[in-house]
């Protein structure tokens, strides 16, 4: 009998990790996998999975380590030989407890390149999936044996993405149709480092006076960023949009996409830009160079606003460079499909037992 996969994902916010769970489960369903996703009741993740016909067990999940999740996972593990695939730190603990009680294999995905605070169930997992080589190196430095780590890059739905229509953000902001636009899509949290992005915007005021910047995302850094924008006199030039539905449509509006992270597991918004033909200026943090090598993007030093400003200016001042970079990125992104990701994850599952 083949293994049934019990995914555990907190899903309380719709961010890159939750999007990856959705894409993975959808692709595994197409491969005929038996699976169920345990996630928060009423979450965007649960709604999307149900629309796509993926089995969901939605539970009350009001706190990160909500103990009510453990009985739900354990009950799903009783039906047939199963494994737990935990997709975030809270899921690793809660799913790990249930897997230990049921004596089921635990697979855990690590999406960030932060050191582990404690090994816990990360150290007990049968296999760990690192979304980049950079994440794998951090896990090894934290004492996880290399033979238990599999690098599986995140994926995107290439055909669906390329069919989207731009959002038309210039018109919504009252900007001219030919206004140069630098786009950033990321949670407003310290490691995404929009502070460096805003300081890069300040540096380019004189060099590129018509350039505007849009930042889509929410998070605890918003007030700090608003104050910085005001203090630098950039209120009419840097626009904090908050949450944007279908942020891929905003990326499609960009003259370039800018990733300012100090730490980054991989960064699927960059993959979106690559697939949409939008040239990318990015820091070289974490797994970002793994997507943008072979000159598929212009890289800058993490935390260095002058370096990031120069990367953006190079793309916007040299249409030939921007076009060549975008063309290389469009070719490279073909290796980051959701279907390829699901096939690679399936190989990890097979190392734990029979799997389609």
pLDDT of residue 35: 97
- The per-residue pLDDT for 65 is 80
CB 204 within 8 A of CB 256: no
| Residues 147, 152, 155: CA angle, nearest 5 degrees | 175
Say if 4-155+337-350 and 159-336 have the same CATH topology: yes
Tell me: the pLDDT tens digits for 237-292? 999 999 998 999 999 999 999 999 999 999 999 999 999 999 999 999 999 999 99
Distance CA(311)–CA(282), nearest Å, equals 8
What is residue 134's predicted lDDT score, i.e. its pLDDT? 96
Superfamily of domain 4-155+337-350: Glycogen Phosphorylase B; (3.40.50.2000)
Q: What is the pLDDT of residues 75-95, one digit of tens each?
A: 999 878 999 999 999 999 999
Cα–Cα distance, 287 to 285 (Å, whole number): 6
Distance CA 76, CA 71 (A): 9
The residue ranges of every structural domain in the chain are 4-155+337-350, 159-336
Cα 287 to Cα 259: distance, rounded to the nearest angstrom: 12
3-state SS, residue 103: coil
Distance CA 115, CA 96 (A): 19
At residue 191, the pLDDT reads: 96
Q: Specify the fold of 159-336.
A: Rossmann fold (3.40.50)
Q: Which residues of the chain have pLDDT under 70?
A: 11
């Amino acid at each position: 009998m083949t293994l049934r996969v019990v995914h555990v994902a907190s899903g309380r916010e719709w961010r890159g990790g939750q999007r990856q769970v959705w894409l993975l489960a959808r692709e595994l369903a197409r491969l005929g996998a038996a699976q169920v996703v345990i996630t928060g009741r009423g979450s965007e993740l649960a709604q999307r999975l149900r629309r796509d016909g993926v089995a969901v067990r939605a539970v009350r999940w009001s706190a990160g380590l909500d103990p009510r999740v453990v009985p739900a996972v354990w009950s799903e593990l009783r039906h047939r030989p199963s494994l737990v695939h935990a997709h975030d730190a809270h899921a690793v603990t809660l799913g790990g407890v249930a897997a230990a009680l049921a004596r089921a294999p635990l697979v855990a995905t690590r999406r960030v390149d932060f050191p582990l605070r404690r090994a816990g169930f990360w150290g007990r997992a049968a296999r760990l999936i690192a979304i980049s080589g950079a994440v794998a190196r951090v896990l090894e430095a934290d004492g996880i044996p290399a033979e238990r780590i599999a690098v599986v890059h995140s994926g995107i739905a290439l055909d669906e993405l390329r069919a989207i229509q731009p959002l038309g953000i210039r018109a919504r902001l009252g900007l001219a149709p030919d206004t140069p636009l630098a786009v950033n899509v990321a949670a407003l949290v310290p490691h995404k480092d929009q502070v460096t992005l805003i300081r890069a915007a300040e540096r380019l005021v004189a060099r590129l006076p018509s350039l505007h910047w849009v930042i889509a995302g929410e998070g605890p850094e918003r007030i700090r960023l608003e104050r910085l924008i005001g203090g630098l006199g950039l209120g009419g030039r840097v626009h904090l949009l908050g949450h944007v539905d279908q942020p891929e449509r905003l990326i499609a509006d960009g003259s370039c996409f800018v990733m300012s992270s100090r730490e980054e597991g991989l960064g699927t918004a960059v993959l979106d830009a690559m697939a949409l033909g939008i040239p990318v200026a990015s820091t070289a943090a974490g797994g970002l160079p793994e997507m943008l090598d072979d000159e598929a993007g212009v890289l800058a030093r993490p935390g260095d606003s002058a370096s990031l400003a120069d990367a953006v200016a190079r793309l916007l001042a040299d249409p030939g460079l921007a076009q060549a970079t975008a063309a290389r990125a469009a070719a490279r992104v073909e290796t980051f499909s959701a279907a390829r990701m699901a096939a690679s994850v399936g190989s990890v599952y097979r190392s734990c037992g029979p799997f389609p």
